[in-house]
Chain A
Amino acid sequence: EAQVTQNPRYLITVTGKKLTVTCSQNMNHEYMSWYRQDPGLGLRQIYYSMNVEVTDKGDVPEGYKVSRKEKRNFPLILESPSPNQTSLYFCASKLAGGTYEQYFGPGTRLTVT
């Protein structure tokens, strides 16, 4: 089944404790992206990647890192999480080119206390 998977789905952590949220897709998509969704603000793009070893900042990259060492994986790293990073996170992937549909993972609900 074609899909985007994220792990973990739910995470409660404490300020400053490094964490990684994994994202994997099995559709051979070149483009992958991370978003966060907060009430009243909609989805905001954190980072995106056009292909392996090619990443770029979205609208809200501060406090996040990403890497794209393999085509199928695009982990999101929070080196020192803070409470303002409490949010619902979505990973997405699509074929290269602006007109293609993005496929989203099921989301990761992160709480930083």
Chain B
Amino acid sequence: RKEVEQDPGPFNVPEGATVAFNCTYSNSASQSFFWYRQDCRKEPKLLMSVYSSGNEDGRFTAQLNRASQYISLLIRDSKLSDSATYLCVVNNGQNFVFGPGTRLSVLP
């Protein structure tokens, strides 16, 4: 079993839709969690950190469930510019483990 797993997609959604991505991790000692966004073959950029209490940034909401070792990302009112690959990232102390990414295409 991979340490961080994500549905690779692609998720093809119309503009304005709400879309949710899930991520599971296997190391119960994982300490911190992130969602990164990566546009085609460019460098990943931080979208948001994920906290146990859940956090929201505009149209984006992230949730962490430590008991189930599960992280989610919700995007509301999707824009064309949200089309990208979304990477779930887990920190296990000093090293970072990336999920394979979930590809999102927002269609006009």
Contact = CB atoms under 8 A, between A and B. Distances in A.
Contact of A106 (B4, B43, B95, B96): B43
A102 B32 CA distance: 12
| Interface residue SS majority, chain A | strand
A105 B100 contact: no
Interface string A23-57: 00000000001010000111111001010000010
B41 interface: yes
Given A90-B43, A99-B49, A45 B96 contact: yes
A99 B31 CA distance: 8
Q: Contact size class for B?
A: 20 to 34
Instruction: Count chain A CB atoms within 10 A of each CB in B4, B42, B43, B98 and give the residue with the most.
Output: B43
B41 A88 contact: yes
B43 A107 contact: yes
A98 B31 contact: yes
Interface stretch (B14-22, B58-66, B86-94): B86-94
A79 interface: no
A45 B92 CA distance: 12
Contacts of B46: 101-102
A104 interface: yes
Contacts of B96: 33, 45, 102
B97 interface: yes
B10 to A, nearest CB: 14
Given A98-B94, A105-B43, 18 more contacts: A33-B95, A42-B100, A42-B101, A43-B98, A44-B98, A45-B95, A45-B97, A48-B95, A59-B95, A90-B44, A98-B31, A99-B49, A101-B46, A102-B46, A102-B96, A104-B43, A107-B43, A109-B41
Interface of B: 4, 8, 31-32, 34, 41-46, 49, 87, 91, 93-101
28 contacts: A33-B96, A35-B98, A40-B8, A40-B100, A41-B100, A42-B4, A42-B99, A43-B87, A45-B97, A48-B95, A50-B94, A56-B95, A58-B95, A88-B41, A90-B43, A98-B32, A98-B93, A98-B94, A99-B32, A101-B34, A101-B46, A104-B43, A104-B44, A104-B45, A106-B43, A107-B41, A107-B42, A109-B41
